[in-house]
Amino acid sequence: MARHVRPASTGRGPGRGCSALEGDRVLGPVDGLPGSRAARVLGGRRLVERDEGALAALDARGFEPETTFNLHLLLYTYVHGLAVHLERGAQAEAATGLTDDQWVDSRGAAFGALVASGRYPVFAKVLGSFADDGCDLDLDVLLELGLAVLLDGFAAFPGPA
């Protein structure tokens, strides 16, 4: 069964506004992310310019076009996911008035009960390693680590036989 990537219908077309290839356009919330301001970007010159380098690097490995596209989407969704995390954190802080640290502190007893239950030994081990100083989420470190793992994985991923 053939699968094709198509932009969502916007009700626009010739004579009814700009075409998708005249420039990037942003449409509503991403499916499955209610309340998110993250948006679908339809194909346009800027989108193609941004993606060309990544696609070219993957294509140079000799992957099939569908694999090239899927790996590119994997990389994009990783970066996008971090951006969504930042957005949701900002929304949560605005809604509750609690910073991330304050929220974690307010949940200390609940996390302590989970650790003490003995049902989650690895969770307890990991959280226990942060007992003195806590763990500050450094998104720069997380981004670099994730990109290194993904890109190293792409390099090791078997190309065509």
d(CA 62, CA 41): 27
Structural domain includes residue 3: no
Does 11 map to a domain? no
Q: Is residue 10 part of a domain?
A: no
As given in the structure block, the two tokens for residue 17 are: 């506004």
Within a domain: 12: no
The residue segments making up the domain with residue 79 are 22-29+38-156
Q: 121 lies in a domain?
A: yes
Of 69 and 39, the one with more pLDDT: 69
Whether residue 8 lies inside any domain: the answer is: no
- What's the domain count of the chain? 1
Q: Three-class SS of residue 127?
A: helix
Q: Structure pTM?
A: 0.62
Residue 139 above 50 pLDDT?
yes
Give the model confidence (pLDDT) of 51-74 as tens digits.
Answer: 899 899 999 999 999 999 999 999
Q: What is the rounded average pLDDT of the residues 84-91?
A: 89
Contact 106, 100 (CB under 8 A): no
Give the SS3 label for residue 42.
strand
**Averaged pLDDT, 40-60:** 81
pLDDT tens, 21-30? 334 433 344 4
**Domain for residue 15, yes or no?**
no
Percent of the chain with pLDDT over 90: 32
